[in-house]
Copies of this chain bind each other. A is one copy, B any other.
Amino acid sequence: MKAELEFIGHIETPYKTLDDCPRNYDPSGPECTLVIDPQYEEALLGLEAGVEILVLYWFDRADRDLLRQSPRHVAGTKGTFALRSPHRPNPIGATVTKIESISGNQIAVRGLDCLDGTPLLDIKPAMKSG
């Protein structure tokens, strides 16, 4: 069974190659921008600086066929669902981060781990429990 995603915008980060990307979110990392496509801008009503959001995005360069992996930073081989690797059947990135500022259809945040231009899937308030 399948379903289709619609990209709601893209993410601007300083990372132009996969080797540039950090391995995970860093709350003190460089500024990144969530750019929402104009037709979705009105769906931002109620978001403001200081709000913790869950950002979902699409690792569009990932390998979707890997069930076991042996990343350099992990001892031995693990199943894909025991790793946060971008290479997975549904390569959805998920990061909780704080809104630094909002201007029109652009949301400034910090320290995302993805390539410049990564497609954006969703934004929602983070649960208190993470």
Query: Copies per complex?
Result: 2
Given A25-B127, A124-B88, A127-B25, also A47-B81 (CB < 8 A):
yes
Cβ of A16 < 8 Å from any Cβ of B? no
- Evaluate contact between A94 and B56: CB separation under 8 angstroms: yes
Cβ of A42 < 8 Å from any Cβ of B? yes
- Evaluate contact between B90 and A8: CB separation under 8 angstroms: yes
Cβ of A106 < 8 Å from any Cβ of B? no
**A:109-123 near B, CB below 8 Å:** 119, 121-123
Alpha-carbon distance between A90 and B127 when the two chains are bound, in angstroms: 18
Alpha-carbon distance between A129 and B58 when the two chains are bound, in angstroms: 21
Residue ranges of A at the interface with B (Cβ–Cβ < 8 Å): 1-8, 24-25, 27, 36, 40, 42-47, 51, 54, 56, 58, 60, 64, 67-68, 77-84, 88-90, 92, 94-96, 119, 121-127, 129-130
